[in-house]
Amino acid sequence: MKKRLMSMLLVGAMVLAMTACGSSNDSGSSTDSSTENSADSSAEDSTDSSAEGSSEESSSADADVSDLKVGIIMKSSDEFQNAVVQGATDAAIEAGISKSNIKAVAPTSESDAYQQVTSVEDMISGGVDILLISCQEENALSSVLQKAADAGIKVVMVDTDCSLFEDKVTYIGTDNYNAAYEGAKEFATHLEEGSNVVILRGKLGDMNHENRTKGLTEGLEESGMNVLEVQDANCETDKAASAMEAWLSKYQGEIDAVMVTSDSMAVGAATAIKGAGVEGIKVCGFDGFQAALSLFETSEIEMIIAQKPYEIGQDGMKDGLAALLDGETFDPYIDSGIAIIDADNYKDYLK
């Protein structure tokens, strides 16, 4: 009886064991399915997470751009310099930089180079990431520009280069000698051979005006013109008017034409000529200022060698951003080009 009972208990135990093994297999099958679904779910979550991460990274990148600080230092606040600033500002805002993070300054006078030095130091202290600058005086500025570059600031020279400073992203501006030289040769076609020409130039020591003066002089002389005199009027309308008045008195009736290295002086010369009641003196400007362009209406100006200031600022900012964000490199010099404006096309440039 006991043996039979023991046998029945053993059989029952074996059945339970088999049932348990069967449950284990079913459970394992269910676990595999659950794990597979979990993996699919994890993959989807991972994809979503990755997409969110990508979106977050993109937003972060956008935020980083908007947080960038930009400095723009010009030589003055004339129409040309302001157009450079506008081009740079528009390019920065278009790239996503906050307008409040863009600071543009200029000395009160083109003859005060050390205001630029102070401005660069202020930009360094302010933590700017990109600096666009038009150099007034190489010897004064080269050391502090190197300090800016050493601080990790991407420095782009615009309009006027500082050749003593090598760690720049690039220099974007007019080839001043060639622009003046070719412009003078074109202007000579408006004059009779052997005409007497005077030249009003910008500040001594400014490389732009040095090169323009040389180009104008050589272009005129090679075209058979006589350069009577060159006078520094510091790109100021009043000084140019005073210099022109003195010349009209000195060379009574001998002056046939005037060339300048900036339109502010063209306006001053034209004002003095008109004020003196003298006719027949042809004036050639340099830049493309609206004030000078308006003088075509009254035939007070004959021609303008025009630069492209807005494009200089715009391209300078784009190159600075590309160097900072993408590590791009550029040629040391990029020629912004010029246009010749005369009575036939001046209305295309009037605003």
332 plus 273 within the same structural domain: no
Write down the pLDDT at residue 109.
Answer: 78
Give the whole-angstrom CA distance, residue 331 versus residue 167: 12
154-158 and 171-173: which strand pairing?
parallel
Q: Is the pTM of this model over 0.95?
A: no
pLDDT score recorded for residue 108: 86
Question: How many Cβ atoms sit within 10 Å of the Cβ of residue 175?
Answer: 16
Is pLDDT of 28 > 50? no
Centre a 10 Å sphere on the Cβ of residue 347 and count the other Cβ atoms it contains: 11
* pLDDT(119) > 70: yes
> How far is it between the farthest Cα atoms of the chain?
152
pLDDT band per the 50, 70, 90 thresholds, residue 111: confident
Closest CA relative to residue 133, chosen from 85, 73, 88? 73
Ranking 35-39, 132-136, 212-216, 316-320 by mean pLDDT, the lowest is: 35-39
Digit-coded pLDDT (tens) for 216-270: 999 999 999 999 999 999 999 999 999 999 999 999 999 999 999 999 999 999 9
> Which is higher by pLDDT, 317 or 52?
317
Label residue 110 by pLDDT band (50, 70, 90): confident
Helices (H), the chain: 2-67, 79-95, 114-125, 138-150, 176-188, 207-222, 237-250, 263-275, 290-293, 309-326
Does residue 127 lie in a domain region? yes
Domain termination residue (choose one: 290, 306, 322): 306
Residues belonging to the chain: 351
Q: What gap in Å lies between CA 277 and CA 302, rounded to an integer? A: 17
Q: How confident is the model at residue 205 (pLDDT cuts 50, 70, 90)?
A: confident
Find the mean pLDDT for residues 32-52: 37
Could you tell me if 245 and 231 are in contact, meaning their C-beta atoms sit under 8 angstroms apart? no
pLDDT of residue 272: 98
* Token couple for 311: 């494009």
Same domain for 115 and 184, yes or no, is no
The mean pLDDT of 185-213, rounded to a whole number, is 95
Domain with 222 in it:
176-306
Residue 88, in any domain of the structure: yes
Same domain, 285 and 253: yes
Arithmetic mean of pLDDT, 174-183: 97
Number of domains composing the chain = 2
Concatenate the DSSP letters of all residues of 155-187 into one string: EEEESS--TT----S-EEE--HHHHHHHHHHHH
pLDDT at 271: 98
**Percent over 70 (pLDDT), the chain:** 82
Mean pLDDT of 30-46: 36
In a shared domain, residues 139 and 240: no
Do 277 and 166 belong to one domain? no
Residue 83 has pLDDT above 70, yes or no: yes
The amino acid present at 19, given as its one-letter code, is T
Mean pLDDT score across all residues of the chain: 86
Instruction: Tell me if 141 sits within 8 A of 165, measured CB to CB.
Output: yes
